[in-house]
Amino acid sequence: MPPIAIRPTHFPWFDYSRYSFSLAVGVGERVYLSGHTASEFDPALKRIVVKGGMTEQVRTAYQKIATILDAAGMTMDDVVRVVEYVKPEGIERYAEAKAVREEVFGTHQPAINTVPVRALLRPEAFIEIEVTAGPVGPATNMGSGMPVARDSTGVVFLPTVLPTDAEGNIIGAGDVVAQTRAIFEKAKRMLGALGLGFDRVVKTVDYLTPAALAEYKFTGRVRREFLGPVYPGAAGILMPKLCHRDALIQYDFIATRDKPVAINPGWDRYQKLTYSPGVKAGKLLFLSGQGALDPATERVVHEGDVIAQAEYTYHNVIKVIEAAGGTVSNLVKTIEYVTPNALTQYRDVASVRTKLMKEPYPASTGLVCEALLRPEMLIEVDPFAILE
């Protein structure tokens, strides 16, 4: 079934038809939303603005999300995953965001991933919220009051996993390898409660602080110990701080009940890595984050030019999709991580999307990170596709 754009008949916040992304994309029983802030068009100022404090902003973001879900014939009770991108000022007021979320969802509990970011594309915004909706399967947690993992007809979303004990104390203070091991041990228990193992993990995204970068390469030992035989798609992004003040790293995991199959266009460099260019599970294609890295030479190309890097990156993303038997039209969702020094040019990345894609455009979220793992890279694209 091909992707379709979800188009509300009444969306009073701004004219979404002007953008190179869809508010949401539906495929079969699931709907994937772009990230949404409290942004709205101000007729008097003739520009997009963000109004209010954290509580008001979260309410507005969820009003948008509810409107989009309604256009898809869904409600908040159909949401299986929420990703909250929160900038540093928002972290200080995160309790407000959590209170509104709990009010919005009531007794329904989606999996929650919370990602502190360097900044959001709308400078006045404290938070951006992205959701996935679909069949709601079993939820499980590791104890009363703990975040839930959610199963949605064979796709399992774990909540953000931090290197903390049951009381919330940090494990492996100052040691990113020890913290990574603590995360994997915790994730193993979460997966086990759903009858799964690491052999069914299809995507990992880890966020780390600059303080973790020097020893980060050694976390590959932990990944080799736990993951496989098919390594998942993956992305690693630097952020200034994480959900726990003493955390050097945190992880988000996605697993499936379908057996994963590695997808590789023929790039030899992945033979020495603990992640695959793509992993197919049924019709779902979980891709690794891609930057402007030449797979043959392992050198970053188009230094200093985010537009050229974005085009190179999307061409590589398309190569992975084609290796799985699809086309660019199967691209359902993207997250674009942009470095601070690329922001002045970033708006023009939209021209790359309109050049390489056609409607319905994928859902998309754009975020400002602290840096990327290769300092010459200005943008990394984290894609997701569904094959027909």
Q: With both helix axes pointing from N to C terminus, report the angle between 94-105 and 54-71 in degrees, rounded to the nearest 10.
A: 30
- CATH code of domain 137-142+149-258: 3.30.1330.40
The DSSP secondary structure of 156-180, one letter per residue, reads: EEPPPB-SB-TTS-BSSTT-HHHHH
Return d(Cα 11, Cα 304) in angstroms, integer.
Answer: 37
Return d(Cα 373, Cα 388) in angstroms, integer.
Answer: 33
Residues of the chain with CATH 3.30.1330.40: 1-135, 137-142+149-258, 289-388
CATH fold, domain 1-135, is 60s Ribosomal Protein L30; Chain: A; (3.30.1330)
pLDDT at 61: 98
pLDDT at 60: 98
Would you state the structure tokens that stand for residue 278, as one six-digit string? 């793509």
Return d(Cα 328, Cα 322) in angstroms, integer.
Answer: 8
CATH fold, domain 289-388, is 60s Ribosomal Protein L30; Chain: A; (3.30.1330)
> pLDDT tens digits for the chain (388 residues)?
789 999 999 999 999 998 999 999 999 999 999 999 999 999 999 999 999 999 999 999 999 999 999 999 999 999 999 999 999 988 889 999 999 999 999 999 999 999 999 999 999 999 999 999 999 988 887 665 568 999 999 999 999 999 999 899 999 999 999 999 999 999 999 999 999 999 999 999 999 999 999 999 999 999 999 999 999 999 999 999 999 999 999 999 999 999 999 999 999 999 999 999 999 999 999 999 999 999 999 999 999 999 999 999 999 999 999 999 999 999 999 999 999 999 999 999 999 999 999 999 999 999 999 999 999 999 999 999 999 8
pLDDT at 129: 98
Would you state the structure tokens that stand for residue 43, as one six-digit string? 């007729």
Residue 205 has φ and ψ, to the nearest 5°, of -130, 120
Task: Give the contacts of 279 (CB within 8 A, at least 6 positions apart).
Answer: 202, 203, 230, 231, 232, 233, 260, 261, 262, 263, 285, 286, 287
| Alpha helical stretches, state H, 40-147 | 54-71, 88-91, 94-105
Length of the chain: 388
Task: Give the contacts of 182 (CB within 8 A, at least 6 positions apart).
Answer: 163, 164, 171, 172
Instruction: Determine if the pTM surpasses 0.85.
Output: yes
